[in-house]
Amino acid sequence: MDLEALKKEAALRAVALVRSGQRVGLGTGSTAKYAIEEIGRKLAAGELTGIVGVSTSEASEQLARKVGIPTEPLDPRPLDIAIDGADEIAPNLDLIKGLGGALVREKVTEVQAGRLIIIADHTKLVQKLGEKAPLPIEIVPFGFLSTIERLRGFLPSGRLRMSGAQNYVTDNGNYIFDAGLPADFDAHELERRIKGTLGVVDTGLFLGMAERAFVAAPDGVRELV
């Protein structure tokens, strides 16, 4: 089974938790895409009704519209559920997110969700965050070299994300510094320190946010809680 089939399997398991009338956070990335498509399919088939989607990126908003999910911008009302992918999943369901560049909108949206359901293929499982993926950190463009210098004071390895020859720009108009993580760190302390750095908007550390994860492997889908 290829990775795309696995991602879709995980997505279908998560969408099975969505009920008619719910406000649903729509994640971003190649795995979340399958969840958005499945919600659209269920709406078209009458298997779900009255869903309102809240998108975590321009790309997900466009896809939601294409597959017929009514959407609304985020407002202070809670979301019933959000479904999203991840770049790394630790055994306690702490996550690294943001290789797709949507970390800030994802965090701002998903913190309001009663349930955050993560969907992924088995390659995203790690024993410790930072094992495979860098930690994306969104920073404001103004003075970005100074912000990176400050970050390098305690995260010496890492680089500004590029898109071809240009700096990568998020939906919020910001840049991303992809930081290598040290071998040993306390995730909450690191999050506090990065967010306390002038010029930083937010990090791709999603700590204590996920309720469960559906992780698909060739021998089946594991549900982690």
Residues assigned a catalytic role: 106
Strand order in the sheet with 52-55: 52-55, 23-26, 81-84, 116-121, 212-217, 220-224
10 or 148: CB nearest ligand 5RP: 10
155 or 213: CB nearest ligand 5RP: 213
51 or 119: CB nearest ligand 5RP: 119
Task: Count the neighbouring beta carbons within 10 Å of the beta carbon of residue 72.
Answer: 11
In whole angstroms, how close is the CB of 210 to ligand 5RP at the nearest point? Answer: 11
Residues 106-145 that bind ligand 5RP (CB under 6 A): 106
Residue 103 binds ligand 5RP, judged by CB under 6 A: yes
Residue 93 binds ligand 5RP, judged by CB under 6 A: no
29 or 40: CB nearest ligand 5RP: 29
Give the Cα separation of 128 and 146 in Å (integer): 29
Residue 85 binds ligand 5RP, judged by CB under 6 A: yes
Residue 84 binds ligand 5RP, judged by CB under 6 A: yes
Q: Which of 6, 26, 29, 178 binds ligand 5RP (CB under 6 A)?
A: 29
Residue 98 binds ligand 5RP, judged by CB under 6 A: yes
Q: Which residues are annotated as a binding site for substrate?
A: 28-31, 84-87, 97-100, 124
Give the binding site for ligand 5RP (CB under 6 A).
Answer: 27-32, 84-87, 97-103, 106
